[in-house]
């Protein structure tokens, strides 16, 4: 009864305090920023990762995504996918931050910076050198090279113009592989901020409105939620393949287990234990004390009578194996009486 009153009291307390406790939580809720780290070469898995992080931000109502970059470049087609994800996220501002100190956003990374709504760099970082090359890193020669360069130039200058950045330098980064450090990038109007860490970036951009999306950033004191790559994004192994491998492993283990059990049962039924109940033929008289020989289970066995006081079992008589003892079989005669074992019965 005392426990019942205690539970009732706690329930009433929760009901009465519920509205009061919920309100401060809502009032104290701080803005969130999702963080994706792009490290190493850019490829299809990188593009899928960035697209997922931006999509999740749109679905959950997060106002900003930060792409932290440290990349020597990568595939242009994957970079195009990332740029499209940046541009088409109408309700999410995408910020790029080249970091940490010593990092770079070279080649493909420069396109990503130019496609972002707000760009920042850490001190002692660099970007540029965006001239297109082939898979081995060599210049693309002839008409194909000219086409690739013109197309990349149009993309880079278009992104720079859409976000109010230096189009002239953007073109030179493609045609002449121009590169700049953080200070030069800020001075030339390639990026908007130089900050030592991400918290400083979020404080610096708070209240600014990014174009062409028209989103005003609310990032001061924002909670940074890091979105790491999934296993599939890191390795390129899709989830269904993992499930398939797990299923195959489970089937293999089940098969091994069943085979082991069958073999164990087979050993029992075909080994010496399996002889109990078998009917054999006496080949040499079986007498108490001295024993005899019987042919059973396809083999000749030394045999002793079950009843030590019984008469000698003669050659040609049928006997049933009732036990095993010290490598010999213990037998009893097969009788013809009703209710007993009859001749010709091979197993019970």
Whether 78 is catalytic? no
Give CA 131 to chain center in angstroms.
36
Q: What Rg, from alpha-carbon coordinates, does the chain have?
A: 42
Sheet arrangement for strand 126-128: 104-106, 126-128, 179-181
**Gap between the Cα atoms of 10 and 116, Å rounded:** 52
| Distances in whole angstroms, Cα of residue 346 to Cα of each of 224, 248, 306, 318, 337 | 80, 43, 18, 10, 16
Cβ atoms of residues 281 and 316 within 8 Å: yes
CB neighbours of 217 closer than 8 A, spacing ≥ 6? Answer: 63, 64, 93, 118, 205, 206, 207, 208, 209, 210
CB neighbourhood size of 311 (10 A): 10
Written as six digits, the tokens of 12 are 């009433």
Sign of the dihedral through C-alpha 44, 191, 104, 73: positive
Which member of 4, 55, 87, 107 is catalytic?
Answer: 107
Whether 345 is catalytic? no
**Gap between the Cα atoms of 341 and 90, Å rounded:** 91
Which member of 30, 60, 147, 257 is catalytic?
Answer: 147
**Gap between the Cα atoms of 39 and 50, Å rounded:** 12
Residues constituting the chain:
348
What are the start-end ranges of the H helices in the chain? 2-27, 44-60, 76-88, 108-114, 142-162, 167-175, 182-187, 198-205, 231-235, 239-270
Question: Known catalytic residues?
Answer: 107, 147
């Amino acid at each position: 009864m005392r426990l019942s009153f205690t539970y009732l009291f706690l329930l009433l307390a929760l009901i009465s305090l519920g509205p009061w406790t919920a309100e401060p939580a809502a009032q104290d809720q701080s803005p969130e920023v999702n963080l994706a780290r792009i490290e190493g070469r850019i490829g299809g898995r990188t593009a899928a990762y960035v697209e997922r992080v931006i999509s999740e931000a749109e679905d959950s109502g997060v106002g900003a995504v930060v792409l932290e970059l440290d990349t020597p470049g990568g595939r242009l087609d994957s970079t195009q996918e990332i740029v499209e994800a940046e541009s088409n996220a109408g309700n999410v501002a995408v910020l790029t931050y080249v970091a940490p100190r010593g990092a770079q956003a070279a080649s493909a990374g420069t396109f990503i910076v130019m496609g972002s709504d707000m760009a920042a760099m850490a001190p002692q970082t660099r970007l540029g050198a965006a001239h297109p090359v082939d898979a081995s890193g060599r210049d693309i020669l002839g008409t194909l090279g000219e086409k690739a360069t013109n197309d990349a130039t149009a993309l880079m200058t278009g992104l720079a113009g859409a976000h109010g950045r230096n189009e002239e330098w953007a073109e030179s980064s493609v045609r002449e592989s121009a590169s700049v450090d953080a200070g030069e990038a800020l001075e030339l109007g390639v990026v908007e901020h130089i900050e030592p860490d991400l918290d400083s970036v979020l404080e610096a951009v708070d209240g600014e409105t990014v174009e062409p999306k028209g989103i005003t950033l609310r990032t001061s004191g924002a909670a940074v939620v890091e979105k790491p790559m999934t296993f599939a994004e890191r390795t390129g192994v899709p989830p269904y393949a993992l499930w398939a491998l797990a299923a195959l492993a489970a089937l293999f283990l089940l098969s091994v287990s069943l085979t082991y059990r069958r073999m164990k049962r087979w050993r029992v039924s075909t080994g010496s234990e399996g002889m109990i109940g078998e009917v054999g033929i006496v080949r040499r008289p079986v007498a108490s004390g001295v024993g005899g020989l019987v042919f059973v289970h396809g083999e000749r066995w030394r045999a002793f009578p079950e009843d030590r006081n019984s008469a000698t079992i003669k050659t040609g008589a049928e006997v049933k194996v009732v036990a095993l003892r010290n490598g010999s079989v213990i037998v009893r005669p097969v009788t013809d009486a009703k209710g007993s074992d009859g001749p010709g019965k091979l197993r019970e």
